[in-house]
Amino acid sequence: MKHIISVLVENKFGTLNRVAAMFSARGFNLESISIGETEDNEISRMTIVTRGDDSIISQILKQLNRLIDTLKVVDVTNKPHISREVLLMTLNRGKQSQQEIFNLIDVFKAKVVDIKQKSITIEVVGSPDKINTTIEMFRPLGIKEIARSGTVAMTRGES
């Protein structure tokens, strides 16, 4: 099963390498990993998407905790949480497809971030599911290039 793990880490060089190397050394699946500074510039948040049965996920959580540079490890999968991903996608801009592209842009609340004679680049923000659907829907119109940010996630605030 797919799991989203949110990890607070020391904002130091080598931390990303330590985490990624642990995954590869122990043969854990690593679907995506994203990292950025938090409100405290000494701490970064890492969001890891991985797959495994309960015993593998439990090992992953423990192995993450064991690294000295990790401060907090939370499996947010079964907690109320928000997860988002950013998609940048460049499409071929043909005469026939133009209208269809703009229709889909409307449907997916995408943003046009760059437009050239022959291409158009859009940005979509949403759950990883929505990103997958977006890509599928645009595919017939001619995708030139895709960049995905990987998932970022956090647990919901208290009410």
Partner 1 sequence: MHTSGQIMNGSEILFECLRREHVEYIFGYPGGALLKVYETLHDVKDIKHILVRHEQGATHMAEGYARATGKPGVVLVTSGPGATNTVTGISNAYMDSSPMVVFTGQVPSTLIGNDAFQEADIVGITRPITKHNFLVKDVKDMAITIRKAFFLATQGRPGPVLVDLPKDILSSECTFNWPEKIDIRGFKPTIKGHENQIRKAAAMIARAKQPLLYVGGGVIASEASDALRKLAIEQDIPVTMTLQGLGAFPGDHPLSMGMLGMHGTFWANQAINTCDLLITVGARFDDRVTGKIDTFATHAYKIHNDIDPTNIDKNVKVDLPVVGDSRCFLEGVLKALPKTRENRQAWLDKIAQWQKECPLTFTNEKDTLKTEFVIDEVSRQTRGNAVVTTDVGQHQMWTAQHYKFINPRSIITSGGLGTMGYGLPAAIGAAFGIQDRPVVLFCGDGGFMMNIQELVTAVSYKLPIKIFLINNNFLGMVRQWQELFHQEKYSFTDLQQSNPDFVRVAEAFGVKALSAGNPAEAEKAVKEALAYNEGPVLVEFKVIKKDMVFPMVPAGASISDMLFERLNPKTMV
CA 157/CA 159 separation, integer angstroms? 6
- 16 is an interface residue for partner 1 by CB under 8 A: no
Angle formed by the axes of helices 54-66 and 15-25, nearest 10°: 140
CB of 18 to partner 1, least distance (A): 6
Residue number with CB closer to partner 1 (48 or 89): 48
Contact between 121 and partner 1 by CB under 8 A: the answer reads no
| 14 binds partner 1 per the rule CB under 8 A | yes
| Residue 58 touching partner 1 (CB under 8 A) | yes
Task: Give 78-125 as a 3 state SS string.
Answer: CCCEEEEEEEEEEEECCCCHHHHHHHHHHHCCCEEEEECCCEEEEEEE
Residue closer to partner 1 (CB basis): 63 or 149: 63
Q: Give the residues lining the site for partner 1 (CB under 8 A).
A: 9-10, 14, 17-18, 21-22, 25, 55, 58-59, 62-63, 65-71
